[in-house]
Amino acid sequence: MKKRILSLALVVFMLAALSPIISSPVALATGHGSNGKFLLPIDPPAVGSIPVSTRAELEAIQNNLAGTYHLTANIDLFGTEWIPIGGRDNAFTGIFDGQGYVIRNLAITGNQEFAGLFGRTSDAIIRNVGIENKNIRTSVSRESYAGGICGHNNGVISNCYTTGAISMSVSSSNISLYAGGICGYNTSNSSIRGCYSTSSVSASRSSYAGGISGYNYGIIDICHFAGSANAEYVGGICGYIAAGSTVSNSYNSGITGDSTLHPRRYSGGISGSAEAGASITNSYNTGSINASAGGFNDSYSGGIVGYNNGALISNSYNTGSIFADAAGGSGFPGGICGYNRDSNSISNSYWNIDSDQQGAKSIIDQRDNTKKGIGDGSDATTSLTSAQMQQQSSFSGWDFRTVWGFKAGTNNGYPVLRAFHPDIPAPPPEAPNLNTADGWAQGHIQSAFEKGFIPEDLQNSYKNKITRAEFARMAVKWVEYALGQPINTIVTERGIADRIGHTFTDTTNTDILAAYRLGIISGSVAPTADKPGTFNPSGEITRQEAAVMITNTCKAIGANVSNPSTADFGDMDKAAGWAYPGINFVRANGIMSGSDGNFNPNGTYTRQESITTFNNIKHNELPGR
């Protein structure tokens, strides 16, 4: 195999060119591989796989493009240009498993149609390999493809990363170039998963550049870009996503586009442009997005997509700055898209209104001086402040149990993807049957469920009116939560376990009897030392009864319930005298409130109202606690 020895001048040029490049991989929560820089776990190589540990053995793959190979050591390619494995007439069709090792200092220059560790693949699998400090700089005369892993991918690329630089140039404006940190072109039925790049990626003239793939017809999932990319169609993940392709669970924190004028310019945090029939979901951008168009052309710059021609965008967000400039035309910056054809194509997607936006020839936000989610076209996005974007409740319809999460000290407090942060603790189980509650109560029900004071048989039908027995049992469960002890221990330590033998004739429920012994309830007919009373367990309770029982519950855990400030409800004249102290206490301590200035003391109470009331009690802040 013929090798071209690099001249000293070329070596110096390479090193100088690489100096400003972001070259250190992203910090991983839980890394894998020999250096801890791989996103996904690595399985042992396939049985019968051919070991590769030297440059010569790596080059020898050209002799059997259908073989199965795995690395057993890091390989340094410095000093001699690399000839890509597989090309137009002889694609690699085998399996290459890097096993978590790294290939460094890969260099390719000149008129190379398919540039990368692999030039072109067909039904191949490439996985678990890192390419560090690559330098791919091609000057071509025909349509060409360049990527750190593969120039043209027809197969599977998984768990790979790249650093270094890719730069493509062409003499004619009618020739397309495809450059990507992982691959230049990802075909239909192909996939890239669990990959990231910190490379500098650029392509001139009529070109496509992406942090992961220049042009995507396939599937991209769990990928991240933290470098810089520049082309006519440029995106943090893809320069262009075509119909039938998907991008999911991915994010960009790099710089997309620059102030260099292109005939047209489409820049996006995820993709420069996207066709109808494509989709982007569960993805985000925090990087700076720039677009500058020459002549009288317009430029489009968006936090997710620069120019969206109908692709579906869902559950995504942007916090990055958006700039769109044009020499003689108009610039359209948008928090989500520079242009969007159909408002129905975007759902549950958010952008930071505190981030910068700048239109053409102006330091103002937009052509009409207003920041927008969509620079031009139909808008169905939602703007949020920085503070709102740090709150889970701001993101309607998002899955914070398995997809999204928050991690202290990470991403400025904004949501992160759990796929990149497996160390985020799993959230507690979701409260059962939340769909049977009103929206205002669901958060309280979830919180109460996590605290453990909702009896299991009350974890449904939350709009139902609550009975006296149900309320008493919930009060006892809340006392157990507040004191951190089982109820039997509490009543035994207080010497009240046998306060009255057979308390009520209509119930023997142990929690109801405990509630009586703690002074939370008294019964519809109070028991005496000589005669049991009745409790009426199936009877409904009123709001004033709930206020009194809540006050008694707080007293049972040691709160001072005496002499609260007088409640200012307008209908206190309708409350019973015995209920006044309880209503005053729950009002003074923010436990129960009214509506339109009234308390409605004789109104009935529901399960969801009862759960919310108990959840409102700040037991460690009550008077006397």
Please state whether beta strands 337-340 and 374-377 pair in parallel, antiparallel, or not at all (unpaired): parallel
| Separation between Cα atoms, residue 356 and residue 312, nearest integer Å | 25
Q: What is the pLDDT of residue 502?
A: 62
In 3D space, the residue among 336, 338, 356 whose CA is nearest the CA of residue 348 turns out to be 336
Question: 523 — alpha (psi -120 to 50), left (phi > 0) or beta?
Answer: left
- The pLDDT of residue 369 is 57
CA dist 322 and 337 (Å) reads 10
Q: What is the pLDDT of residue 295?
A: 65
| Amino acid 614: pLDDT | 98
- The whole-number pLDDT of residue 257 equals 74
Contacts of 40 (CB under 8 A, 6+ apart): 32, 158, 159, 193, 194, 222
The reported pTM is 0.77
Listed by start position, the domains of the chain span: 8-405, 434-621
Mean pLDDT by 10 residues, the chain (625 residues): 33 32 43 91 96 98 98 96 96 98 97 96 98 96 95 98 96 88 97 98 90 98 96 96 98 81 78 97 96 78 96 97 82 94 93 87 49 90 96 92 94 97 88 95 95 96 97 97 95 78 84 93 81 92 97 97 94 96 96 95 97 96 93
DSSP reduced 3-state for 597 = coil
Give the pLDDT confidence score for residue 362 in this predicted structure: 47
* Nearest Cα residue to 161 out of 100, 112, 108: 100
> Within 13 Å of residue 35, how many CA atoms lie on the same side as its CB?
20
Among the listed residues 589, 614, 608, the one whose alpha carbon sits nearest the alpha carbon of residue 452: 614
User: Tell me, what's the pLDDT at 367?
Assistant: 45
DSSP per-residue string spanning 16-72: HHHTTS--SPPPPSS-BSTTS-BSS--PPPPTTPEEE-SHHHHHGGGG-TT-EEEES
Assigned CATH topology for domain 8-405: Pectate Lyase C-like (2.160.20)
Calculate ∠ Cα 279-284-288, nearest 5°.
Answer: 120
